[in-house]
A and B are shown apart, each in its own frame.
Chain A
Amino acid sequence: MEDILIKASKTAESAEVFQLTALRTPVQFEANRLKQIQTKESVTTALRVFKNGRVGFAQVSGSIKPEELISMALETSEFGHKVNYTLPGNLPLNHPDIYDPEIEKVRVEEMIDIGMEIIESVRANTPEIVFEGTIARTSAIYQIINTNGTDIHYRRSTFTVSMDGMLVRDGDILYIGDILSSCHPIREFSSMTGNLIRQLELARNNVSIKSGIFPVIFSPFGVAGALISPLIAALNGKTVYDGASPLKDKLGKSVFDRKFWLYDDPTIPYQPGSTPCDDEGMPAVRNTLINSGVISQFYYDLHTAALAGTVSTGNGTRNGGLPSPSPHALIIAPGKSTQDEMVKQIKEGLLIEQLMGADQGNTLSGDFSGNVLLGYKIENGEICGRVKDTMVYGNVYQLLGSISDIGNDARWIAGYLNTPSIFCPEISVSAK
C-alpha cells in the first residue's frame, strides 16, 4: 500500500489508498440440511488521485503491479470531477469495539450445530417446514492511507445467522424468516426460533380482508421493507444537493410526527454497522437526522459536502467506486407500547411483517406499493390470520407524518437498521 501511495504521489498532487482484506466463511443449509461450506478470501485495493485539479479512480482485486493501478487512476483523472475538497489529515478517531477475536475461533462444526439447532427447534413445532439458511463469520481489515498523513487501520468481525423457511400447503406457500448479526459470535438464538415459531402460529389460517382504508402496524421487518428506503434516499446529501429530495427545503422544519426520531449511529460497540471512520478516513459519529419530526441533518461525504457548502458527516461509503454518502446504522427511537397493546387498539386492520416490491417504484416521492408477502389481519384487537393476494399503497411522508404509536420492541434488522414497530392510522388496501 505504502508503495502505491509513494509512487502515486510522484505524479499526483494528492493520493489515497483504501484496502479491504476479508476472510468470510459461510456455512449454508438447504432443505433443512447442511449443504455447502465456503471460504472466501478477498483483497481489494482502491486508489484515488488528484491530478491537474481533477479526481481519478481505479480499483483492483487480486494481484497487480502498483504502476498499473496508478496508470489506470491517472487515465481516468482526465475526465474526473474537479477537486473541491482536501483529503483528511490524520484526524483523531474514537474506536468503538467492533472486533472480537473469538470470531476466528468459532469452528465450522459449531456453526453447523447452530444452524441445525435452529432448524430442529422450529421443525418441532411445524415438521413440514423447509429451511434455507446461512451461518457466516467474517473478519475484515480496513486500511486507509493518504498523502495528508492519514494512516488508519482497523478490524471488524461479523457473525450472521439467517434463516428462511418455506411451508407449502395446497397451492399456498408461506414464507417466514429472520436474521441476526453481531460482531460477537452468536450463541444465543432463542429470540430467532421464538420469532419464527410465532410467525408460523400467526399465519396458520388464511383470512381475507376487503379493499379499503385501514389502520396498520408495521413490524420491525415491515418498517425495513416499506418505510426506510425512501427516507435513506431523501436524507442523502447528494439527493438534496441535486434537488431530487422532497426534503430539500425542509432542514429545520417539522415534516414528520413529533414521536419520530431517526439517528445514524456507528458508535455502538459490537454492532456490524459501527466503525471508527468512514471509507475516506473521516471520523464516524452519531448524527441525529430527524429530531422529533424535525429534519435536523442530511448525511454527506467529502465531495458532496464541498458541493453543498457544508462539511462531511463521516458518511463516505465505498460500493465498488468512489465514496458516496450512505448511512452506517440507522436507529428509529422506540416508544413505550408493546406490539400487543397496539394490536388491541385496532378494530379492523393489518400487521405487516414483509412487504414485497415496495422499493421498486419511484421511492424518491415517498409513494410505495407492495404485495403483503407476510401480514396478518387484526379484528377486534386480535390477530386472526394471514392475508394473501393483498396489496397496500401508501406514502411514507403521510404515514410517518401522523403516527398513532411506536412500539418498545426495537430490534436490529441485518445490522443496518434498529427499529421498533410503528402504528399508523391509515393505509390503502387492495385485495382480491
Chain B
Amino acid sequence: MRETLQTLLKDHRADYIEVRLEENNSSRLIYRGKRLEEAGLSASSGGNVRALVNGGWGFVSFNSIHDLRAKIDLAIEQAGYIARGEIKLSPVEPIIDVVEETFKRNPQNISISEKKQLMDHYNLLMLETAGIQTTTIAYSDIRKKVTLATSEGTYIEQERIDLTLRIAAIASQDGDIQQAGLSIGSKGDFSVIENLDVPVKELAKKAVALLSAPQVKGGIYTVVLDPVLAGVFVHEAFGHLSEADHIYENPKLKEIMVLGRRFGGKHLNIVDGAAVPGYRGSYKYDDEGTPASKTYLISEGVLNSRLHSRETAGRMGEKPTGNARAINYMYPPIVRMTNTFIEPGDISFEDMVADVKEGVYAKDWYGGTTSLEMFTFSAGEAYMIRNGKIAEMLRPIVLSGNVFTTLNNIDTIGNDLSMNQGGGCGKAGQSPLPVSNGSPHIRIRNCLVGGK
C-alpha cells in the first residue's frame, strides 16, 4: 500500500495532497437496568483524500478504496472551485514512521464474556442499592489503525485504542427522577475500569440522596470546583477559544486574542498537549503528520500561545502545535484540544474552603459548552459551603461564566492536579473526540449559578 500511495501522490496538479486510510473495529455493551440490551461488534474501513489548490480545500471520503486516482482527481476538482489564494501551510519536516504502541491491558484481547462479567457485577452493585429504580451502562472500546501519506513525502502509520465506560444510577420517588453517573476512559488500558466497586456503590447512594436534596438558589457565588469539573471548566472556558481556527480569519477576534493579553492572575498556567503521555488525548503525530507538542496556552496569567493546524499556523505566522485531528476518515482534520489542564498551585483543598462564608462546592460533570465568550458547565454533584465547611447536598447545578472575566476571578489554585479521562469533545459535527482534561481544585469568585 505504501508504494501505491507514494506513486499516486507523486503526480498531481495540487499544491498539497494527503491520503488518510483507516481501519477500525469496536465492541460495545449497553445495559438498561438488569437487561443487557446490546452486545455489538462493528468494523469499518475507508479513507479520504484532501487536496489544497490555490488556497481552497477539496475533500473526498469513501468506504471503498478502489480507484484512489479518481478520488484524488475529484478532490482536486472540488478544490479548484474555491481559489482563495494565499494559503501557506506551515512547513513541517516530512516524516516516515511506523509507530508501535503497547497497551497495558488491551481491551481487544479481553473476551466479551469477561467484559460482560465485570459490567454485570457493577450493575448488580447499583441495583441492590435501596431506592435505585434503574441503571444505564455503556461500555465501548475501539481500535483504530490510521495510515497517512502526503505529497510532501510524509508516511505515518499509527494505531490507537480508546476505551470508555459510562455508568448511571437512576433513583425515583413520587414522580421525581434523579441520577448520578460515572464516566471513565483510557488509552487502551482496561485496568482503569476494574476495581470500581467503591465509586459505583457511592454513585448509587448519591442518586438516592439527590431525591431529598434541595435546588440551589440562583445567583452569584464563590464556587470551589473539584479537579474533574475544573477540567471541564478549563476545556470550555478557555480551551476552545485557544483553537486558532476560530481566530485566524476573524480580525476583531484576533485583536481580542492577541498574545500577551492578560486573562488571569500570575498563578494561572493552562497547558494543552498530546505530547503529555498516557492520556486519551495523547499521540505521537496529529492527523496532518505534525509531531505532538506541549503548549502553554496561558503562562502566568498571560495569553502565551494557541492551538494550530498547519493552515492556521501558516496564516498566523506561528508554529504548528500538532493539534489537527479528525474523529475518523469521514472528516478532515480540524484544530482540536488533546490533554488540557490547569497546572497545580500550592493550596490545599481544606484551606481553599476554610475562608468561604457562603459558597458552592461543585463536583463531577454532566457536560459543558461554549460560545467562545460565554460558557456553561454543569456539575453532577454539589454542596453548599457554609462558614468554611462543606454543608448540605444540592441538586445538580449549571454554572456559567464569561471568558473575559471568569479566568480573572480564579483566586486560588490547589495543589492536587488530577486528570479526567471520561469526557469527549464535540466540534463541527465531529463528536465525541477522545480528550482528557484536568486541574487541581480551584476557587472562582463571583460565579453565576442558575437556580430557583
Contacts and interface: CB of A to CB of B under 8 A. Distances in A.
Q: Do A and B come from one complex?
A: yes
Interface of A: 30-31, 33-43, 56-64, 68, 72-73, 75-76, 78-81, 108-109, 112, 128, 130, 166, 168-169, 171-173, 175, 211, 238, 242-246, 249, 303, 307, 320-322, 324, 356-357, 359-362, 364-365, 367, 369-371, 373, 388-389, 391-393, 428-432
Contacts, number: 263
B378 A173 contact: no
B452 A393 contact: yes
A168 B64 contact: no
Contacts of A322: 37-38, 40
Interface residues of B, number: 81
B404 A171 contact: yes
Nearest to B82: A34
A45 to B, nearest CB: 10
Given A244-B170, A369-B450, A63 B45 contact: yes
A193 B219 CA distance: 37
Contacts of B449: 391, 430
Nearest to B83: A34
B93 interface: no
Choose among B75, B170, B175, B366 the residue with the greatest number of A CB atoms under 10 Å from its CB.
B175
B62 interface: yes
B85 to A, nearest CB: 10
B52 to A, nearest CB: 10
Choose among B43, B170, B178, B366 the residue with the greatest number of A CB atoms under 10 Å from its CB.
B43
Interface stretch (B7-15, B250-258, B291-299, B351-359): B250-258
Choose among A63, A249, A430 the residue with the greatest number of B CB atoms under 10 Å from its CB.
A430
Given A60-B43, A393-B451, A211 B218 contact: yes
B176 A370 contact: no
B56 A63 contact: no
Nearest to A397: B175
B162 to A, nearest CB: 15
29 contacts: A33-B84, A39-B60, A42-B62, A59-B42, A60-B42, A75-B112, A79-B112, A79-B113, A112-B81, A130-B250, A168-B252, A173-B374, A175-B371, A211-B219, A242-B133, A244-B170, A356-B369, A357-B367, A357-B368, A359-B367, A365-B176, A369-B450, A369-B451, A371-B374, A371-B448, A373-B374, A389-B374, A391-B450, A431-B448
Contacts of B400: 357, 371, 389, 391
Given A356-B371, A430-B451, A36 B82 contact: yes
A365 B82 contact: no
Given A36-B58, A39-B59, A76-B40, A391 B398 contact: yes
B177 A244 contact: yes
A278 to B, nearest CB: 17
Contact of A357 (B45, B178, B398): B398
B238 interface: no
A79 B133 CA distance: 24
B182 interface: no
Contact of B177 (A41, A249, A365, A430): A365
A388 B373 CA distance: 11
A68 B367 CA distance: 38
B44 A80 contact: no
Nearest to A307: B35
Contacts of A130: 249-250, 252
B108 interface: no
A75 to B, nearest CB: 7
A419 B116 CA distance: 42
Contacts of B30: 321
Contacts of B252: 128, 130, 168-169
Contacts of A73: 41
A356 B374 contact: yes
A34 B83 CA distance: 9
B230 to A, nearest CB: 16
Given A322-B37, A428-B451, A172 B63 contact: no
A33 B29 CA distance: 44
Given A62-B44, A370-B450, 20 more contacts: A38-B332, A39-B74, A41-B60, A42-B330, A57-B40, A60-B43, A64-B43, A81-B36, A108-B81, A130-B249, A168-B253, A173-B371, A242-B134, A357-B398, A370-B398, A371-B374, A371-B398, A373-B371, A428-B450, A430-B448
Contacts of B46: 42, 61-62
Contacts of A128: 252
A38 B60 CA distance: 6
B325 to A, nearest CB: 16
A362 B56 contact: no
Contact of B178 (A56, A59, A109, A362): A362
A243 B135 CA distance: 10
Contact of A244 (B28, B134, B215, B367): B134
